[in-house]
Structure 1
Amino acid sequence: MTLTDRANLTRMRTVLFNSGWNMLGRIGPVAIAVLITPYLVAKLGLSRWGVLTIALSLIGTFGIFDFGLGRALTRAIAERISDGEDKESATLTLTGILTLGVFGLVGGGCAAFFVRIWVYNGLKIPVELQHETVVAMWVLCATAPLVMMNAAMWGVMSAYQAFRNANLLNIPISVLYYLAPLLILQVWNSLVGVMLMLALCRLAMTVGYAFICMRLMPTLLTARPSFSLLRPLFRIGGWMTISNLMFPILSYMDRFMIATVLSAATTAYYTTPFDVVARLSMITLAVSSTAYPAMAASWRKDTLTTITLYRNSILTVVCLLFPFCFLGSLFSQDILGFWVGPDFAHNSTVIMKYLSIGVFFFGIDTVAAGFLDGIGRAEINAILSIVEALLYAPFLLLFLHWFGVNGAAFVWAGRSIFDSVARITIGIRLYPTLSSVVRHLMPMALTGLGLLILSLPPTQNLLRIGIFLVGFPLFYGIIWMYAITQEERTSASHTLTHLWVSGRKSLSRGRMDG
C-alpha cells in the first residue's frame, strides 16, 4: 500500500463516502425484509416463524464468543496500515481469523450440545415440530465459525475502509437471507431447509469476504499465524466485551422494569415508539463504523486529521438525525395516530418526544465512544457503562413510580445526554486538542436540545408547523456560523453557486428545446 493510499484511509471524504455505503447496506435489505416477511409467515406458519425469529436472534449471541477481538483487530490493523507494516498486518489478520474461527467452533459446539435439552424442555412448541427444530438449530450452530470469521474479516475491511466492496457483497446476500428461505419453502416446507439456505448464504459471505481481504492484503496468502500478537488485543477486547455485555442490559432494562413496576401491557406504549426512533441508529452506526478505524489509524501521528474526523463525524450524524428527531418530536401524535391509531398515540406521544431527544444525543455519544475505543482506551467505555447501569437502574425505578411510563422515556433521554457529555469530557482530558472542536460544536448541540425541548408541549398543528419552519433553518444556520470553518463555508458557497447556475442553465436549455 502506497503513502497516498494510506492517507486516503483517513480522509473525511472517504469516511463520508463509506458512511453512505454502510447506510445503503443496512437500509436496502430492511426494505426487502418488510416486503417478504408476510409471505414467509404465511408459508411457515406462526409456530415455525416464531422458532425462526428466535434462531435468527441467537446468531447475534455468537458475537459474545469473540471477546471483543473483532473490534480490537480493526483498531490494531488500522494502526499497522498507517505505519506501513503490511507484513505484520497480514500475520495479525490470519491469526485473528483462525482464532475467531476456533472460538466460533467451540461456541457453536456448546450451543449444539444444549439445543436438544432446550427444545424438548424449554421451548414451548408443538410436539411434531420438536425434531425438525432440533435439526434446524444444529444447522444454525454449525455456522458459528463462519459468523466469527466473518467478524474478523469485516474488521480487516473496516481498517482498509473497503466498505463499498463489502456492502456490494452484503446487500445481495442479505436480500437472499429472506428470499432464499421463501424459495426453498416452495419445494420443502421445513425449517431444516430454511436453515440450510441461511447457512449457504453465510458460507457465500465468508468466501466473498475472504476474496476481498486477499485483494486488499496480498501478503495474506503467504502469512503465518503468530498467536503472541493477540495478547494486547485480548486486553482491549476484554474491556470491549464488558461494554458489549452492558449494552443489551442497558437497552432492555427499561422494558423489564416497566413490565414489572407497571404492567406488560403498558410496555407496548413504550416499545412501539422506541422501535420507530431506534431505526435511526442505522445512520449513527453507518457513520461511526467508518470513522472508528480512521481515527484509530490517525490519532498517534496526525492530530489535525483525528480532530477533523471527530468533528465531521459528529456533524454528519447530527445533520442527518436532526430532521427526523425534530419532526418525530413535533408531530409524534400525528405519526403514531396514523400508524397505530389515536388511542395508542394518546399514551405514546410524550414517550416518542423524549426518545427523540435521546436518539439525537445517542448519535453524538456513539462517535465519542468510538473515539475512546480508537485511541485504545476501551476500559473507559466499559467502566462508564457499569457506572451508568448503577445510576440508571435506581433513577428508572424512581421515575416509573413518580411519573409512570413517561418517566422511563425521560430517564432514557437523560442517560443519552449524560453519556455524550461524559465521553466527550473524558475524550478532551485524554486528547486535549479536541477542546477546540467541541467548543465549536457546543452551539449546535445546545440549539438542537433547545428546539427538541420546545417541541415537547402539546400545541396546535399551525404552531407546530411554525416551530418547524423557524427551527429547521435556525439549527442549520447555527451549524453554518459556528460548527464549520471559513474555508468550508467558502467551498460550500462555491458548490451551491455552481449547482444553482448549472440548474438555471439546464432549465433554460429545456425551455428553448421545448
Structure 2
Amino acid sequence: MINNLLKNMSFSLASKAWRIILPIFITPYIIKHLGLDAYGIMSILTVFAGYFALSDLGLTGALEKYVAEFKAKGQLKKINDVVQVGMFYYFIISIIGGLLLYTGFYILLNEFVTIPPELNHQTKISYLIVSITFSLSIFVAFFSSIIRGYQRFDLIAYRTMIVYTISVVLTVLVLHFGYGLIAVVSITLFTSFINVTLFYYLVKKYCRGISIQPRWNKTTFEYLFHFSKWKFLAGFCALISKNSARIITGILLNVRMVSYVSVIQLLAQSVSRRLGAEIVKVLYPFMTEIVASRSNKIQKQVYLRSAKWLFSLLSIPTVFLVAYAEVILQIWLGNDFSNNGTFLLKSLAMLYLFSSVLWLSTNVFEAAGNSFFPNICATTIGFSQLFFYFIFIPNFGINGIVFSHLLTLITIGVYEQHKTLMLVGSNWNEYLKKSFLLPLIASTINYNLLIIIESKINISLPTLITLAIISFIIHIIIYYFIGVFEKEEKKIILKFFNKF
C-alpha cells in the first residue's frame, strides 16, 4: 500500500513540478507581448470560468471517493452505477454551464470591470471562446476522477506533461508571430479537446470493465449528491479563497493591478499550495482505502507522517522564496513588480505553506464519510476571506490580501486542525513535535544562512540559480543531521526517490 502511495506521489509531483516550472519561465514573455492590461483580462476570464467548473456540484470528488472505495471492495457494478450517472449529469452541465458562463462574462465585464477601449473587441471574442472551452473541459474533470479513483496517477502525469508542454509551445509561437489575447485563449480550447480525447482513451484502456454510457438513476445521484453537496460548497469557497482576490482587485482597483496579483499568486502558490494540493490528491483515495479496511492505527501514522513530509518538502522552496523574494521579482519581472509585490510574495508564500498542511485534515474526515465538517470549515474560510477582501483591499491595496488570509488561518484553520487531531487519536503536543518541530528548526537555520549570503554578494540570475541548488542541498543536509526523519521513514523516502 505504501509503495503504491509513493509511486502515485512521485508521478504527481513530477507532473506538477513541470507545470510549475514552465509558467515561471514563460510568464515574463507573455506579459511582455500581451501587456499588463490584456494579461489582467485573461486572468479574470480564467478565474471566473473556474467558478462555473463547480456546476458539477462536487461530483468529481464524490466519484473519486466511491470509485476508490468500491474498487477496494471489488464491487465493479457499483463503480459503473456511479460512473454512468456521473456521465449523464456532466452532459447536462456541459451545455447549461457554458450558456450561463457566457451570460456571466457579459454582465461582469460590461457592468463591473473597466476594460480599456482598445481591448473591448478582443475581450468579447475571448469570453465566447472560454465559454465553449468550459463546455468541453468539464469532461476532463469527469474522466480524471475515475482514473484517480483507480489510483493511476502515472497516467494523469504523462498526459499533463505532454499536453501542457504543447499548450506552452503554441502560446509562445502565437505571441511570437504577433497574435494577441484571442489566439492565446483559442489554444486553451484546442488543448481541452486533446485532453478530453486522451482521457477517454485512458479510461477505456486502463480502467477495465468501466462503462461510461450515460444513464440516469435518481437513487444513485442522490447517493452521490449526499456526499458531494458539501464538497461542492467547499470547492466554491476554495476558489473564493484562491482566486477571488483577482476579481475583487479588478473591480475595486483596475485590471493592471490584477496582473500584479496574478503573477505573485502564481509564484507563491507554485512553491507550496500547488505542490501541496497534488500530494493531498494522491493521499485522498489512499486514505479512503485505509478507512475501508478499518486500519485506524495506520490512519494516524499516515496522517502525522504526511503532515511532516508535506511541511518538510514545501519548506525547502518556500524558505528560498521568502529569503530572496525581492531579488527574484526584480530579476524575473523588473523593478516595478519588485517594488509592488515583495511583501505580498513573502507573506503569501508563508501562509500557503501552513495552509497546505492543513488541507490534510479534509482527507481524514472525507475518507471516513464525513464531508460536512471540513467542507463547512472551508465554506466559512471562503466567505470570511471574501468579506475581509472588501475591507482590506481598498485600504491596503493588494497587500490587503495578506491580512485576509492570515485572519482566517489562525482562527478557522486552527479549529479544524484541532478536530482532526481528535479524530485520528492525536493531540497538539504530539502533532507539533512529530510533524513540525525539527523541520521548522531546519528551515530557520537555512533561512538565516541565505540572508547572510545575500548580504555578502551581488545576486545575478546565474548566482540565484546556483544558490537555489545550494539551498536545497543545505536543507537536506540539515534534515539529516538533526534527525528529521526516522530510520523507517528514510527507507520509505529512498523508495520514493527510486520510483521518482
Q: What is the one-letter code of the residue matched to 1:441?
A: S
Match of 2:134 in 1: 144
Farther off after superposition, 394-403 or 111-120: 394-403
- Alpha-carbon distance in structure 1 between the residues aligned to 2:28 and 2:252: 37
> 1:236–1:190: structure 2 CA closer, same or farther, 3 Å change rule?
same
Corresponding residue for residue 84 of structure 2: 94
d(CA) in 1 for partners of 2:423 and 2:52? 33
2:75 maps to 85
User: Relative to structure 2, which stretch is displaced further, 163-172 or 434-443?
Assistant: 434-443
Contact 2:133 2:192 in 1 (8 A): yes
**Cα distance change, pair 430–342 in 1 and its aligned pair in 2 (3 A):** same
Q: Distance in 2 between matches of 1:125 and 1:266?
A: 14
CA distance in 2, matches of 1:456, 1:40: 34
Moved more, 437-446 or 73-82: 437-446
> Aligned AA for 1:79?
E
- TM-score normalised according to structure 1 size: 0.73
2: CA distance, partners of 1:479 / 1:396: 41
Over the aligned positions, Cα root-mean-square deviation in angstroms equals 5.0
Counterpart residue number, 2:291: 299
- Tell whether 2:250 aligns with 1:247: no
Per-residue CA distance 1:481-509 (angstroms, 9 max, x = gap): 5xx4443347779999x9xxxxxxxxxxx
- Tell me the residue number matched to 1:290: 282
Q: Please state if 1:382 is matched with 2:375.
A: yes
Aligned AA (2:281): S
Distance 1:419 1:167 in 2: 33
Q: Bigger shift: 257-266 or 361-370?
A: 257-266
**1:511 corresponds to:** none
Partner of 1:480: 483
Match of 1:3 in 2: none
> Which one-letter code corresponds to 1:204 in the other structure?
I
When structure 1 is superposed on structure 2, of 382-391 and 65-74 the one drifting more is: 382-391
- 1:87–1:219 contact (8 Å) kept in structure 2: no
Does the alignment pair 1:170 with 2:160? yes
Q: CA deviation at 1:390?
A: 6.9
Contact 2:442 2:475 in 1 (8 A): no
Which of 184-193 and 61-70 deviates more? 184-193
Q: What is the CA distance between 1:184 and its match in structure 2?
A: 7.3
Q: 1:448 to 1:204 in 2, by over 3 A?
A: same
Could you list the runs of 5+ residues in structure 1 that have no partner in the other structure? Answer: 1-6, 499-514
- CA–CA separation in structure 1 for the residues paired with 2:395 and 2:134: 45
Displacement after TM superposition at 1:347 (Å): 6.8
1:15 aligns with 2:8: yes
Q: Which of 219, 224, 236 is the equivalent residue of 1:228?
A: 219
In structure 1, C-alpha distance between the alignment counterparts of 2:449 and 2:403, rounded to whole Å: 14
> Whole-Å Cα distance in 1 between the matches of residues 50 and 142 of structure 2?
15
> Unpaired runs of 5+ in structure 2?
458-466
List aligned pairs for 1:19-168, cutoff 5 A: 19-24=12-17, 26-27=19-20, 29-30=22-23, 33-34=26-27, 37=30, 41=34, 54-112=44-102, 124=115, 130=121, 137-168=127-158
Check 1:111–1:271 CA distance in 2 against 1; reply closer, same or farther (3 A cut). closer
C-alpha separation in 2, matches of 1:188 and 1:263: 25
Which AA in structure 1 matches 2:73? D
| TM-score of the superposed pair, with normalisation by structure 2 | 0.75
Give the structure 2 partner of residue 4 of structure 1: none
Which is further off, 171-180 or 68-77? 171-180
Code of the aligned partner of 1:296: T
Residue type of the alignment partner of 2:421: I
Aligned residues with identical type, % of pairs: 16
Contact conserved, 1:80 with 1:88, CA < 8 A, in 2?
Answer: yes
Q: Secondary structure at the match of 1:220?
A: coil
CA distance change for structure 1 residues 85 and 115 in 2, over 3 Å: closer, same or farther? same
Cα distance in structure 1, aligned partners of 2:354 and 2:236:
21
Contact 1:154/1:209, CA 8 A, preserved across alignment: yes
Relative to structure 1, the CA distance from residue 263 to residue 159 in structure 2 (aligned partners, 3 Å threshold; closer, same or farther) is: closer
Q: Residue 80 of structure 1 aligns to which amino acid in structure 2?
A: F
Deviates more, 1:224-233 or 1:385-394: 385-394
Counterpart Cα distance in 1 of 2:194 and 2:329: 40
Take 1:400 and 1:49, find their aligned partners in 2: how far apart are those partners?
20
Q: Distance in 1 between matches of 2:452 and 2:330?
A: 14
